[in-house]
Amino acid sequence: MHFRSPGILLFVFVLTSVALAQPVGAQTAERDTAFHPYRINYWVTGGILAGGLAAEKIGIAWITGKTILSNAELQAVTRDNINGIDHWALQQDLSTMKYYVDLSDKVLTGIILLPALTMLDGKIRRDWLDILLLYAETILLTNNMYLYAPFGPTFQNKYRPVVYYDELGDSEIRTRGSNRSSMYSGHVASGASASFITAKIFCDYHPELGNNKYFVYAAASIPPLILSYMRLRALSHFPSDIAVGFGVGMLCGILIPEFHRISGENASVGVYSSFEGTGLRVQWRPK
C-alpha cells in the first residue's frame, strides 16, 4: 500500500536493454538508413529526467508523511456514501489482503520491465538508447502526474477500502497515514503506462500492422487489468480509483511517445485573419 519509486526498476531495465542491444559499432551503418519514428532531444530529455527525479523525491515525501487516522476519524467512517460499483471493494476477504498486496508489488515489477521485450525486435534494438530515454521519461512523468495531479493523493485524502473494515479495529494496518491515499491507484497507473508504451513502441516501428495494431493495444490492457484486480483484492483502492489510474497510465503510455513523433512535416504554426478577428493557429496531424 505504499508508493514505489521506479528508480531501481529503471536501473534493471537499463541493464536488460543494454544486454539485448547490438554493439554501437554494428548499429552505425544501419541507423543511417533505418526508420526512426521518434525524435529524442537528449538535452531536453535529460533535463526532464533530472527534474522528474527531483520532483518525485519531494512528492513521495509529501504523500508518505500523512498523519495516521485518529479514533474519532475511524468512528466517523460510514459505508452509506459509497456508490454501488465502489461497494465491491467493501466485500472482499480480509484474510487474503496481505497476499494480494505482496503479489501486486511483484506483478508491477514484472510489468514495469515489459518494455525491455521490445529489444528483441531488430528494428527497435537499433534505437535502444532513444527507447530507453523515452521510457524513462514516460514512467517518470506518469509517476509525477500521480504525485502532483489535483485528483491525486497529494491533494486528495480519500480513505482506502481497508479503513471501512471495522473488524480491524484500531490496528496499525487500518490507521496508517498512507490509507488517506486511495485516489488514485499509482500501481495501476505505472503498470498501464509501461504496458501501453510497450505496445505503442512496437506499433510505431511496424506501421505495416495497419488496423491490426488495435489487437496489440487490446493485449496491452491485460497486464494492468490483472494488476487492477489485485489492487482491489488488496483493499488498496476502490474501482473508481483503479479506473482513473488505468486511464492516466494508458494516456501517458500512448501520448508521450506520440509527442516525440511530432516534426515539421505533421505540425504547423501560423497566423490567420478573418472577419471575426486575427489569431494564432497551431495544427498537428498525427501520422
- What pLDDT shows up at residue 280? 46
**Beta bridge partner(s), residue 273:** 278
CA–CA dist 249, 143 (Å, integer): 9
CA–CA dist 126, 46 (Å, integer): 20
- What pLDDT shows up at residue 226? 98
Pull the grid cell for residue 214: 488495435
Q: Which residues of the chain have pLDDT under 50?
A: 1-3, 6-8, 11-12, 15, 19, 22, 24-27, 29, 267-273, 275, 277-278, 280, 282
How far is the CA of 19 from the CAs of 79, 119, 120, 236, 253, in angstroms?
51, 9, 11, 36, 24
Domain boundaries, the chain: 7-284
Q: Which residues contact 30 (CB under 8 A, 6 or more apart)?
A: 126
- What pLDDT shows up at residue 170? 87
- What pLDDT shows up at residue 2? 46
Q: For residues 236 and 161, is the Cβ–Cβ distance under 8 A?
A: yes
- What pLDDT shows up at residue 271? 45
- What pLDDT shows up at residue 281? 52
- What pLDDT shows up at residue 1? 42
**Rg of the Cα atoms in the chain:** 22
